Amino acid sequence: MLLRDVDLGDVEAYVRMRCDPAMMADLGGPLPREGIAAKVERDAAEAAEDTSWIKMIVPDEARPEVVAGTVVVWSHASDGESLSEIGWMVLPEFQGRGLGKRAVRALLERARAEDRWGLVHAFPATTNAPSNGICRSIGFSLVGERDVPFADRVIRSNHWFVDPRSLDSPSQPPAPGMIGSWLGAGCDESQNGWVVDAGRAGPARSEFQSHPVPEPTDPACVQRRDAGAEETARANRWWWDSDADAYQDRHSDFLGDVSFIWGPEGLAEDDARLLGDVAGQRVVEIGCGAGQCGRWLVGQGARAVGIDLSRRQLLRSQQFDSTSGTVLPVIQADAQRLPLADGAFDLAFSAGGALAFVADATAFLREVARVLRPGGLFVFATTHPFRWSFLDEPDEAGLVAVDSYFDRRAYVEHDSHGDATYVEHHRTVGDLVRCIAAADLRLKDLVEPEWPADFDRTWGGWSRLRGRIIPGTAIFVCARP
Ligand SMILES: C[S@@+](CC[C@H](N)C(=O)[O-])C[C@H]1O[C@@H](n2cnc3c(N)ncnc32)[C@H](O)[C@@H]1O
């Protein structure tokens, strides 16, 4: 596929896109044919002047005359401020082949390479499921719905935005040698995943404004069903990117920026010492969020690295790097495919990180075992499986068992298009013990932190009232033989 500037020969393609009832169904119906030639003329002039990027999508480079659609980035005023927008259209016979997504991504990658356009917004009609799917799968964040003027009409649209610099691109090369030199050990940075420049100053506060996440108030938006690895990772990356700011703001007084807490009961690693003496140890935190735990370990003399699926969580981590002065190198990657060499770590841990958010627990544990040296430890905290029987409420309502502990189907939230926006997987205690054994790890301890009598704090469904009666967190201490 290639993208080329629109030219005067593209009138027919414009007509097919803009004057066709099916193509324009989500945009209030077809536009009149007259005026299209003048529009192409204006667009071609703008493209030639480079004031906008107005590109025709050519699926086959050998046949540049065959056009599949268009993708455009331009800048305009919105509420008195300049705003960059991206829009695209794909002709019916080329739909369903991923061309639209590739074209959008290619233009955003160019925006990143040229450091042009800043944040890029998109406003697909709420009814346009494929375009909203493209936004989600590329990693746009959803702000909410709004009415957008288009031609002589108003279109109910979803407002998405993306920072092209934060595209999750497996093809983006990692900063060479950074993690490897920090660890002083073999660390394969060439695999899937890439290194966030830990030395970079944290972004300005304005990049961290909160973005509302749709609340699954409608029971139809929540299901218990099976969810595979890719669907799970896609949904959870979207969720954590969208919720990262609100999550960090909600829990900042508890999590701090350099502190290691295993879970809502407040068990501190400083007291529990489940990882042992960490000074000089190579440690990887999986599902590190904003890296508070890893940063604490760095302060204890460990050579720690954080891994997380969510770019936005990692941006918060970088912000804490600058405010605290303690830097945790971080990598954006999926826990199911760690971009790390075999045996590169003495210790691995996860404090409520990836386990519940991956579809195949055994495969995940095997992947962690792979990066540990023989004798290395993997300590992971997860929501206590026992809690799956109860409503996630901090008060009396959360003390009534309503769901079967043995129901292994995932908890899935989805949006009005049916796309999953959050997936959490449940395993029983026995399941987890078997997964650990199947990954060739040895279970050394299972810690169930008790709620401290004088600790009166609520964290979602965790509270003193419930904590006195039912367990909230399970911490599995495993060793690679
Ligand atoms: C509850 S937070 C735990 C992080 C940290 N300990 C805290 O308390 O804030 C869960 C983290 O796991 C990350 N995560 C979810 N799925 C993941 C995956 N497949 N790979 C890596 N990280 C993942 C999320 O992005 C999120 O930052």
**What is the pLDDT, as a whole number, of residue 339?**
85
370: CA distance to ligand 1 center in Å?
Answer: 20
Full-model pTM = 0.65
320: nearest Cα among 258, 246, 270: 258
For residue 263 and ligand 1, the question of a CB distance below 6 A is answered with no
430: CA distance to ligand 1 center in Å?
Answer: 23
Domains of the chain as residue ranges with CATH? 2-166 (3.40.630.30), 178-479 (3.40.50.150)
pLDDT in tens, the chain (481 residues): 999 999 999 999 999 999 999 999 999 999 999 999 999 999 999 999 999 999 999 999 888 889 999 999 999 887 667 889 999 999 999 988 889 999 999 999 999 889 899 888 899 998 888 898 888 778 777 666 788 988 889 999 988 888 787 675 332 333 434 455 455 433 444 333 333 333 222 222 222 222 334 444 455 588 899 999 989 998 998 889 888 988 988 888 888 889 999 999 999 999 999 999 999 999 999 999 999 999 999 999 999 999 999 888 998 998 898 899 999 998 888 899 898 889 999 999 999 998 999 999 999 999 999 999 999 999 999 999 999 999 989 999 999 999 999 999 999 988 877 788 899 999 999 999 999 999 999 999 999 999 999 999 898 889 999 999 999 999 999 999 9
469: nearest Cα among 411, 400, 382: 400
For residue 135 and ligand 1, the question of a CB distance below 6 A is answered with no
Q: What atom of ligand 1 comes closest to residue 334's alpha carbon?
A: 20
248: CA distance to ligand 1 center in Å?
Answer: 12
Which of 257, 265, 288 to probe ligand 1 with, by most ligand atoms within 8 A of CB?
288
287: CA distance to ligand 1 center in Å?
Answer: 4
Residue nearest to atom 2 of ligand 1 (CA): 353
**What is the pLDDT, as a whole number, of residue 302?**
95
Q: Residue 200, Cβ neighbours under 10 Å: how many?
A: 12
φ and ψ at 445, to 5 degrees? -160, 155
109: CA distance to ligand 1 center in Å?
Answer: 26
Which of 141, 307, 313, 334 to probe ligand 1 with, by most ligand atoms within 8 A of CB?
313
Residue nearest to atom 1 of ligand 1 (CA): 352
> How are strands ordered across the β-sheet holding 420-424?
222-225, 410-414, 420-424
For residue 291 and ligand 1, the question of a CB distance below 6 A is answered with no
307: CA distance to ligand 1 center in Å?
Answer: 9
**What is the pLDDT, as a whole number, of residue 297?**
97
434: CA distance to ligand 1 center in Å?
Answer: 23
For residue 245 and ligand 1, the question of a CB distance below 6 A is answered with no
**What is the pLDDT, as a whole number, of residue 311?**
86
**∠ Cα 162 166 167 (to 5°):** 80
